[in-house]
């Protein structure tokens, strides 16, 4: 636990003081937080109530994954229907239209990630049961033109492909000789998608490249990579035609990009655990990714100083017995992760994946267990994270005292909140301090008061009471 404490102290810029005192030194930026709740938001029966719930939680930005297969004509056929693929009227936008229209009405920003599965007729050989094998770039370019023409100003930011370094979303990941294959496939799709957006009349498309998963292999044994993922830093280099020293390995042109998207999931050891594989990138080692991006920019493979968008993230909780942590610890780890992202000036967004847990099924991490990263259990019972998400709180030991950092997510400007402390060996809570946030809702505090747990209370202008869960010090 000691390394976690030291790192948290550094993040919080902690200092020991004799009395509780507000510390106005906060990071110089506010980050957007995307929320993703596909089961509830793409269902007409649950969408309205879910939007109300998300508003109360302080959500104002959504990530929506648009599956090419789900809207394309004749998607299950190996024979492509005869239609103008650039014409949005040829597609069935169904469940997406009301969601994006409602987000626009609420002035919420939408990140639309266009991804697999793809129509069977757009896969290599036109007979792919996985619907992810070598999608046709030309067909994808036309589809992206239709997407942009249809949704227009309802989309603030585009992502091209979800986790293209993972075999569930793009195949093959590796060539027969064990070297990475998916990065170059992705490069072609990215270029095609970008061209499609421009063909729709968007002069300077705001597109995120990457959307990479956090782990994987650098290479595999020949003919053994069917269900493997390419490590994100290897994927990045290969997609940009760079060798292991970040030097151009071909005549590839610079890729245009608005930012780099990544899914920096941690494991059950916590958000400050460093992965042993050097080409993996979790929330604890974002500097690996920013360093790689800077080296790639130096090689003129991408624009300089690309921001990092953490577009999918969550902390697994029990009952996931493989990656899950206790529910109270989920709230603590999630807040620590958000603070890591907030403290990094290159990070432009954080995210929360799932409102409600996936159901448990299967018998292993890759056997259908799903994600238990939600704010609620599968049956809708609230976890501690449900109450912690609108009021994230991090407490770090600092010398003989403590440093606290937090956010009032639903706040529309400067507001006041109450910090409570539970003294050691006591069940009672007492007021530690009333704090005023900055204009974005962030606050910090240094205190010498000992405690076994801390929590935050806030009352909205409409008099709705918010009570955060108990949070321990790390």
Q: Which DSSP state fits 329?
A: H
Is 131 strand, coil or helix?
Answer: coil
**H or E segment at 212?**
strand 207-212
Residue 124 sits in the same domain as residue 72: yes
- Domain final position from 368, 389, 410: 389
CATH number (domain holding residue 437): 2.60.40.10
- What integer pLDDT is reported at residue 472 of this predicted model? 98
| Mean pLDDT (the chain, rounded) | 93
64: CATH: 3.20.20.80
Does residue 95 share a domain with residue 7? Answer: no
pLDDT at 20 over 70: no
Query: If phi over 0 gives left and psi between -120 and 50 gives alpha, with beta otherwise, what is residue 67?
Result: beta
Among 351, 374, 389, which residue terminates a domain?
389
What pLDDT score does 267 carry? 87
Mark whether 194 and 330 lie in a shared domain.
yes
Mean pLDDT of 166-173: 98
Confidence of residue 29 (pLDDT cuts 50, 70, 90): low
Number of folded domains in the chain? 2
Q: What does the pLDDT read at residue 30?
A: 73
Lowest-pLDDT choice from 23-27, 159-163, 379-383, 440-444: 23-27
Domain span at residue 458 reads: 1-28+393-474
Do residues 458 and 417 touch, judged by C-beta distance below 8 A?
A: yes
Q: Span 400-427, mean pLDDT?
A: 97
Whether 21 and 87 share a structural domain: no
pLDDT at 368: 65
Mean pLDDT of the region 214-229: 94
* Boundary of a domain, candidates 334, 369, 389: 389
Is residue 5 over pLDDT 50?
Answer: no
Considering the domain architecture, whether residues 368 and 456 belong to the same structural domain is answered as no
Model confidence at 85: pLDDT above 60: yes
Strands 393-398 and 453-459: unpaired
How does pLDDT run across 91-113, given as a tens digit for each residue?
A: 999 999 999 999 999 999 999 99
Quick one: what percent of the chain has pLDDT higher than 90? 88
What lies within 8 Å, CB to CB, of 297 at 6+ separation is 303, 304, 305, 306
What confidence tier does 361 reach under pLDDT thresholds 50, 70, 90? Answer: confident
Q: Is there a single domain that holds both residue 364 and residue 417?
A: no
Residues 211 and 329 in one domain: yes
| 209 plus 310 within the same structural domain | yes
Whether 355 and 447 map to the same domain: the answer is no
- 348/458 same-domain check: no
- pLDDT of residue 231 exceeding 60: yes
179 lies in the same domain as 213: yes
- With a cut of 60, say whether residue 9 has pLDDT above it: no
pLDDT tens digits, one per residue of 253-301: 999 999 999 999 998 899 999 999 999 999 999 999 999 999 999 999 9
Q: Dump pLDDT digits (tens) for 170-194.
A: 999 999 999 999 999 999 999 999 9
Helix 232-239 to helix 182-199 angle (10° resolution) is 60
Indicate if 15 and 74 belong to the same structural domain.
Answer: no
pLDDT for the residue numbered 26 = 52
Q: Which pLDDT band holds residue 17 (cuts at 50, 70, 90)?
A: very low
Per-residue pLDDT at 21 exceeds 70 = no
Four-residue CA torsion sign, 365, 330, 325, 328? negative
Strand 393-398 versus strand 401-407 pairing type: antiparallel
Residue 11: pLDDT above 90? no
């Amino acid at each position: 636990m000691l390394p976690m404490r030291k790192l948290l102290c550094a993040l919080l810029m902690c200092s020991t003081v004799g009395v509780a005192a507000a510390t106005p030194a906060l990071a110089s930026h506010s980050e957007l937080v995307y929320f993703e709740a596909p089961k509830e938001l793409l269902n007409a029966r649950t969408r309205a109530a879910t939007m109300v719930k998300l508003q109360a939680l302080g959500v104002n930005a959504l990530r929506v994954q648009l599956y090419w297969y789900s809207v394309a004509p004749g998607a299950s056929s190996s024979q492509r229907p005869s239609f103008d693929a650039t014409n949005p009227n040829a597609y069935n936008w169904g469940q997406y239209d009301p969601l994006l229209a409602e987000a626009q009405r609420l002035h919420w920003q939408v990140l639309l990630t266009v991804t697999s599965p793809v129509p069977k007729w757009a896969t290599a050989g036109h007979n792919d049961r996985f619907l992810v094998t070598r999608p046709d770039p030309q067909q994808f370019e036309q589809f992206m033109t239709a997407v942009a023409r249809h949704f227009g100003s309802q989309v603030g930011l585009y992502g091209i492909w979800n986790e293209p370094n993972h075999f569930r979303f793009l195949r093959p990941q590796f060539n027969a000789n064990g070297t990475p294959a998916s990065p170059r496939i992705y490069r072609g799709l990215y270029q095609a998608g970008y061209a499609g957006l421009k063909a729709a009349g968007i002069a300077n498309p705001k597109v995120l490249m990457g959307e990479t998963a956090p782990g994987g292999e650098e290479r595999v044994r020949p003919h053994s990579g069917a269900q493997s993922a390419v490590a994100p830093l290897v994927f990045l280099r290969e997609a940009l035609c760079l060798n292991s020293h970040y030097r151009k390995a071909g005549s590839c042109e610079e890729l245009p990009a608005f930012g780099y998207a990544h899914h920096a999931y941690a494991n059950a050891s916590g958000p400050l655990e460093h992965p042993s594989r050097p080409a993996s990138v979790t929330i604890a080692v974002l500097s690996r990714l920013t360093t790689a991006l800077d080296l790639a920019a130096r090689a003129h493979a991408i624009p300089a100083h690309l921001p990092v968008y953490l577009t999918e993230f969550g902390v697994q909780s029990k009952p996931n017995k493989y990656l899950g942590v206790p529910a109270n610890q989920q709230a603590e780890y999630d807040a620590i992760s958000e603070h890591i992202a907030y403290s990094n000036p290159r990070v432009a967004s954080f995210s929360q994946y799932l409102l409600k847990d996936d159901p448990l099924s299967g018998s292993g991490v890759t056997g259908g267990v799903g994600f238990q990263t939600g704010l609620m259990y599968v049956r809708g019972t609230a976890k501690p994270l449900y109450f912690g998400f609108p009021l994230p709180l991090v407490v770090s030991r600092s010398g003989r005292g403590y440093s606290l950092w937090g956010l009032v997510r639903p706040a529309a400007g400067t507001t006041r909140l109450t910090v409570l402390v539970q003294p050691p060996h006591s069940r009672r809570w007492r007021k530690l301090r009333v704090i005023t946030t900055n204009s974005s809702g962030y606050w910090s505090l240094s205190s010498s008061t000992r405690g076994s747990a801390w929590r935050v209370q806030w009352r909205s202008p409409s008099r709705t009471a918010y009570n955060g869960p108990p949070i321990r010090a790390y």
